[in-house]
Every structure is written in C-alpha cells, then in structure tokens.
Amino acid sequence: MRTPPSIRCRSNRCRCDRWRHWRRGCWCAGTRCRTIANCGQGSRAVEFDTVIHGGTIVTASERYAGDIGITDGRICAVAERLAGGTRRIDAGGRLVMPGGIEAHAHIAQESASGIMTADGYLSGSISAAFGGNSSFIPFAAQHRGQSIDDVIATYDARARPSVIDYSWHLIVSDPTEEVLHDQLPRAFARGITSLKVFTTYDLLNIGDAGMLDILSVARDHGALTMVHAENHAMVAWMNGELGARGLTAPKYHALSRPELAEEEAINRAITLAQLSGAPLFVVHVSTAGGAARVQRARGEGGQVFAETCPQYLALTRDDLDRPGMEGAKFICSPPLRDAATQDALWRHVQTGTFDSVSSDHAPYRFDGTGKLMHGQGAPYPKIANGMPGIAARLPWLFSEGVVKGRLRLEDFVALTSTNAARIFGAAKKGRITPGMDADIAIWNPEAVRKVTLADQHDNMDFTPFEGMELTGVPEIVMTRGEVIVAHGTLHGKEGQGRFFARAPMGRTGRPGMPVKEVELMRAGAGQ
C-alpha cells in the first residue's frame, strides 16, 4: 500500500480528496496535471507514463515545437520541454498530431440486400490504425423490422475485438412510433448521438415524411441527423432507361446516378432540416452543386455540416471503364464523377464547405462474397456499392493536400480529426491539450511510399488507390496512450479499443434558418 501523498492538488477547480498513485495525482488528473505543467516545471518532478519529445505538435489552429506528457491514457501536460517519462518517444523531425477519427466507415455491416462487409472490427480497426486513426465511428444499421435496441446489442458484440476506440452512428430505415419516441431516445442517452438516413435504395429510403419525423426527434434530443442524399426516383428512372438499352456494364453505374440526383436530394434534405429546425450532416458529397447548396445553407445560418471522400477527389468515372469487370471495383454511391467536379470539390475542401474528409470505407471484395456475388458478368445494379479506403484516407489527403500545397497542416488536422470530434460530440478526442485522451499519430512527413494492398492491412483483395505514390507516413499511432502501430508493426491487442459515448450537439454559433410559418405556429401555440 502506498503512503498518501505529501502534496495536495491546489487547483481551485479540484474538489477531489482521493489519490490514486501519489506520483500520478488525484482522480481529477487533467486539472492537476495542467496545474503542474503550468507552474510546477522544475519545482517538482512529474512522472509520466510516456513523454513524446522533440516533435512539432500540430493542432487544428497552430503548430509549435513541444513535448507531450501522458499518464493513464490522458494527455497530462504539453510544454516546451518535459523531463521524465517511463517511456520516452523521440519525435525529432516528426509531426505530432491528433490521431485520425474516421467518421464514416462500414464495418461488420450487412448491406440492405444482406452482403456482409469483408472487414469486421478486428481487421477494420487494424487497418484504420495503420492509416493513422486512433478511433472511428462506423455505422450500426437498422434493417426494417429490427429494434434499435437489438441493433445496438448486435454491434456491441461485433465491435468487441476492436484495437482502437469506437462509437457508432445509427442507420435508421424503419422509423416506427416506438423507434422514434422510445428506442432512439434510449440510444441517444447512451451516447450514440448521431444517426444516418437514406433518401434512396428500396430497402433504406425513408421518404420525406420519415425524414421530418427523424429530424424532429433528433433535434429534440440534441442528436445529429446525417443523410445519404440521392433522388431515388431519378436513379430508378435512369436504371430503367439504361436497362432498356442493354447498358449494364459497370461504367453505366456512373450514368445511372446523375449529379442532378444528388443535388436535388441535398437541396431537399437541407430544406427539410430547415423546416424542422434540426442540424444536418450531408455525407459523401460528390457534386459541385451539392457542395454549393451546403455552402449556401451555411451562409444563411444553417447548422449544416458536410464531408467528401478521397475517392471523389482522386478517381473519376473513367475508372469504372477499366477492362472486363475491373470497373466493378470502383462502383460506389454516389458514383465517381469527372475532373471538373474534382476541381470544384477541392475548392470546397479548401474554403471550408467540408468539415471533414472521410473514407466511406465499404469493403466488398472482388469475389463471390462481395462485388461478384451475382456472377462475373453481373449488371451494375447487382454489384455492391462501396470501396475500401480506411487506411488510405489520411496518407492520401496528407500527400495530395498538404504536400502538394492545397491544405495547411492545421487544415489537415481539422478535416481528419478535430472537426469530427467537435461535431459528433467526442469530447475527449481530436485535440492535443491536457485532459484529452492521448490519441496521437506521429507522422514522418517526408517518407515516400507506393500504396499497396498489403499496406492497407484490411481484409480486402484490392485497393482503389493501388500504385499511387504518396508522401507522408503515420509511423506511430496511439489510442489512449497505448501504441497500436509503430513503424509498420502492430502492437495493439484485440479488444483493446473501448466504446466512447458522445455528447449531444453543443451550440454551433449559427443562428439557424428560421421558417416564418413555423415561428408563427409556435407563437400561436404559446411555445
């Protein structure tokens, strides 16, 4: 038994009389450590589990030379120089950034038509970590007839092997009264504070009325509604027209989901969110028109957030026209577009329309378990939508964004980690400051490598980024102070990742987009 400490925490904010190990401080470790780091340097030896020293720390707002002290999985101190540390990690010549938060991934998830993703939480989390991510927020999908409680219990079990921390966005496809008023509020209270809806796909599309119901419930509980926005009828009509002409090779997938279909559905989703007074997050925006609509809504005060994905910036519909069935690897929805759209999307990334760049990792193998489930020559509507990319997201964006001068390092951090933490309520993640989880990625900004399938460490048999030469490698990735990956070797252990509960949406500083009829209605009802 250790003797009680001879020193006590003197922080005004600390009301804690309990002590863990005397060298580690009291239960309010963040507060006390901050006090020590600020005023105790040199006057009292502070011992850390780990000190990362000599690197350039990069946050969403600044970069500076500094050391990071970590104790009990938390960042305890950030200072110019820190002595001690049971383990010292030399970050000389390296960038020390918040570990990535992958906010859009499909892991151990059946598609609506029953195809299981190739990655479960073990391979999916390992792949994420090799790609510089300390945590992720995949989807937990409700299929029609399922209760949300069952969905969560299912994903609770599926996620157990994860090597990095995780949370989930729900997918809601069946918004019954019970789901809306009983099950969803229970999920929100558990810290699952975001959900996604679809405007397309026969088995997922919830219609405008369903969307208004969900937006209203989410708004009332401080939850965030995400939307996959494509006009279902327009896509169905194009499928009919293409089918009637016998145009069913993979490349016709791109024509079947016109840019107009996304632009219309994004406009509609934003308008529905406006009517209900709810915040909205538009996922995988692939069009200039869709991005411009998001930008306009934000300019008008709307609490509208959006992401795009590397594939829409890196690949085009020409990739769908590769020989034979190769194009099937590039089928995703919304589909890949053209070079002009890529340029427009880059401008929106650079000017802040997009809050994050996510992978939309949807791993369906190029075999009978995935893309080719309906045979070698399957028509495009029978080929699973989605492509892998959880390990490639950050290296690709670093190389194409930061190294090529399109983004500042700080923007990179915001787009890959800090914004997702803020928007999705991950209060302890996405920042390098005392009190935060020690979710950290140490990058070698100069290392050059070619993308290979083996480097993805996933369960896939292809990567759409194969052969691209990228500069910048995440060499060490930590989750809550534990090294998960170091210099190409996995150190993380199965089951080491933890579920993290997320807070309801805080104030965004945006006024919202009031609708006069709704205001008059509320005034009439004395609300």
What minimum distance in Å lies between the beta carbon of 196 and ligand DUC? 8
Q: Identify the three-state secondary structure at position 209.
A: helix
Size of the site for Zn ion (CB under 5 A): 2
Cβ 335 to Zn ion, closest distance in Å? 11
Among candidates 387, 383, 386, which has minimal Cα distance to 248?
A: 383
Residue 157 or 203 with smaller CB distance to ligand DUC? 203
Pick 210 or 481: Cβ nearer Zn ion: 210
Q: How far is the CB of 218 from ligand DUC (least distance, A)?
A: 18
Q: Does 287 bind ligand DUC (CB under 6 A)?
A: no
Q: Is 385 in the site for ligand DUC (CB under 6 A)?
A: yes
3-state secondary structure of 192: coil
For Zn ion, the closer CB: 102 or 360: 360
Element (H, E) at 313: helix 310-314
CA distance 267 to 36: 51
**Residue 196 found at the interface with Zn ion (CB under 5 A):** no
Q: Is the dihedral of CA 166, 167, 171, 177 positive or negative?
A: positive
Closer CB to ligand DUC, residue 255 or residue 515?
255
How far apart, in whole angstroms, are the C-alpha atoms of residue 13 and residue 36?
14
- Compute how many residues bind ligand DUC; rule: CB under 6 A: 9
Choices 151-159, 214-222, 313-321, 352-360 (CB under 5 A): range interacting with Zn ion: 352-360
Q: In this structure, are residues 497 and 125 in contact, taking their beta carbons and an 8 Å threshold?
A: yes
Q: How far is the CB of 284 from Zn ion (least distance, A)?
A: 6
- Three-state SS for 58? strand
Give the rounded distance of the alpha carbon of 168 from its chain centre.
Answer: 10
Cα 347 → chain centroid: 21
To 10 degrees, what angle do helices 232-244 and 259-276 make? 160
In the bound state with ligand DUC, the residue whose beta carbon lies nearer, of 36 and 261, is 261
DSSP run (H or E) holding 137: strand 133-141
259 binds, among ligand DUC, Zn ion, none (CB under 5 to 8 A by kind): none
CB of 259 to ligand DUC, least distance (A): 16
Could you give the string, one character per residue 209-228, with x where binding to Zn ion holds by CB under 5 A and - elsewhere?
Answer: -------------------x
Look at residue 473 and give the partner it binds from Zn ion, ligand DUC, none, a contact being a CB closer than 5 to 8 Å depending on partner kind: none
Between 48 and 198, name the residue whose CB sits nearer to ligand DUC: 198
Q: Which of 151, 157, 156, 185 is nearest to 171 (CA)?
A: 151
77 vs 229, which CB is nearer to Zn ion? 229
270's enclosing H/E stretch is helix 259-276
Cα gap 20→251, rounded to integer Å: 61
Closer to ligand DUC by CB, 232 or 296: give it: 232
Q: What DSSP element (H or E) covers 357?
A: strand 356-357
List the beta bridge partners of residue 97: 441
Site residues for ligand DUC, window 223-242 (CB under 6 A)?
228
Minimal distance, residue 509 CB to ligand DUC, in Å = 28
Nearest-approach distance from CB 458 to ligand DUC, in angstroms: 15
Helix (H) or strand (E) holding 327: none
**Mask of contacts with ligand DUC, 88-107, x by CB under 6 A?**
------------------x-
- Per-residue mark of binding to ligand DUC, 333-372 (x: CB under 6 A): x--------------------------x-x----------
Task: Report residue 81 as tokens.
Answer: 């120089």
Encoding tokens for residue 286?
Answer: 């692939």
Residue whose pair of structure tokens reads 């760049």 in the numeric block: 357
Nearest Cα neighbor of 486 from 473, 502, 498 is 473
Integer Rg of the chain from CA: 24
284 scored as a contact of ligand DUC (CB under 6 A): yes
The number of C-alpha atoms within 13 Å of 141 and in the hemisphere containing its C-beta is 20
386 binds ligand DUC (CB under 6 A): yes
Least separation in angstroms between CB 244 and ligand DUC? 24
Provide, rounded to whole angstroms, the least separation between the CB of residue 103 and ligand DUC. 12
Count of C-beta atoms within a 10 Å radius of residue 511: 10
User: Which lies closer to ligand DUC via its Cβ, residue 119 or residue 411?
Assistant: 119
Minimal distance in Å, beta carbon 235 to ligand DUC?
11
The residue range among 32-40, 171-179, 360-368, 489-497 that interacts with Zn ion, by the rule CB under 5 A, is: 360-368
What is the per-residue DSSP string for 113-175? TSPBPS--HHHHHHHHHHTTEEEEEEEEEPPTT--HHHHHHHHHHHHTT-SSEE--EEE-S--
Measured between alpha carbons, how far is 256 from 187 in angstroms, rounded to an integer? 36
Report in angstroms how near the CB of residue 481 gets to Zn ion at its nearest: 30
Chain residue at closest Cβ approach to Zn ion: 228
Q: How far is the CB of 332 from Zn ion (least distance, A)?
A: 8
Based on CB atoms, which residue is closest to ligand DUC, 228 or 348?
228
Tokens read off for 247: 């145009």
C-alpha dihedral (285, 58, 407, 267), degrees to nearest 10: 20
- Contact in structure between 314 and 465 (CB atoms under 8 Å): yes
310 in contact with ligand DUC (CB under 6 A): no
Nearest to ligand DUC of 269, 283 (CB atom): 283
Contact flag: residue 393 with Zn ion (CB under 5 A): no
Instruction: Provide the binding-site residues for ligand DUC, judged by CB under 6 A.
Output: 106, 228, 283-284, 333, 360, 362, 385-386
Instruction: Provide the binding-site residues for Zn ion, judged by CB under 5 A.
Output: 228, 360
